[in-house]
Structure 1
Amino acid sequence: MTKQIISTESAPAAIGPYSQAVQTGNLVFLSGQIPLDPATMEVVEGGFEAQADQVFRNLKAVCEAAGGSLDQLVKVNLFLTDLSNFAVVNTLMEQYFTQPYPARAAVGVKELPKGVLFEAEGVLALS
């Protein structure tokens, strides 16, 4: 098995011992993205919707660095500290993704790194 590290300055740098994404074959495994502005490495302001929007922008940047797009994500895992924000996530996903949508899991969690409200990760299948 060979693995290639995917990295881009258009998404936040890793804040621990991990890569933004790892490719093996035609699959790319994207690490969890939190709502950090890649230029400042600070959490974006504006509440849940602003944070979720930044997360999807970060995922998009990593997908593009791998030579793909959000529409090639086959699986997305979402982590929310408050599941009442689930409708906001659905609305944003309709803006960022087109049908057929990826498989998805949504999990309510007690807390996330840096006190953020949302995190997402996924698996990209390249052509």
Structure 2
Amino acid sequence: MSDNKSLKEFLQKIPGIKSVIGDGFYENGLWWMKFQIDIKNKFAWNVIQEMSCVINYLSLNERLPTIFYPVSPAPYLNGGPTEFLSWIIENNNAEFSSDNLKEWLENRLPNPIDDIEQWNLEEEE
């Protein structure tokens, strides 16, 4: 079983990802990772779009056994999305490790991963 370390280190290289808040395993062996994206970073939505594509919907016929989604405590009790919006990646197949996801992301996200200009996908107006 992977310890999620390589995926954690990889995610922290992506522009706009502030920090990995936590990661672990459920009793059934499935893993999860929670992190924050700096929503004020000009490439935040590019990062969210690219990661959503690979993690949630890369192929209609062969989806990865993973899901990427936002989570938040009650905004009226805590505050706005700058501080309290987080993102989670979970898997639903114990055979698919966080190392497997890291490989998928490495091969499909902009390269090199930490080159901010590679994330600039805005359409020309």
TM-score of Structure 1 vs Structure 2, range by shorter chain: 0.3 to 0.5
Of Structure 1 and Structure 2, the greater strand share is in 1
Q: Which has the larger radius of gyration?
A: 2
- Could you state the TM-score of these two structures normalised by the residue count of structure 1? 0.35
- Could you state the TM-score of these two structures normalised by the residue count of structure 2? 0.36
